[in-house]
Amino acid sequence: MACRPGCAACCIAPSISSPIPGMPQGKPAGQACVQLDGAGLCRLFGQAERPGICMRFADHPEHCGSSRDEALARLTALEAATC
């Protein structure tokens, strides 16, 4: 599947423990990454500063569902299950 433009669920729902430019301690689950722009796109996409975990995350129907709301719900549940 292709990533939904502006969805950004993967940049909101999970916690990220590695440093992100502008978030040196990483980010907590449920908080939008500071690198998201107004269109819900990553300002670091394709750049070396992008955290490895972000580069390795791939869109998949199991994670993303059929809508942004479904993606947020699924990724939030996955985050809770792995804490």
Q: Where are the domains of the chain?
A: 9-82
- Nearest in space to 49 (alpha carbons), one of 37, 35, 38: 35
Cα(8)–Cα(64) distance, integer angstroms: 10
Model's pTM, two decimal places?
Answer: 0.89
Tell me what pLDDT residue 58 has: 87
> Which residue in the block uniquely carries the two structure tokens 């199991």?
62
Q: pLDDT tens for residues 37-67?
A: 999 999 999 999 999 999 988 889 999 999 9
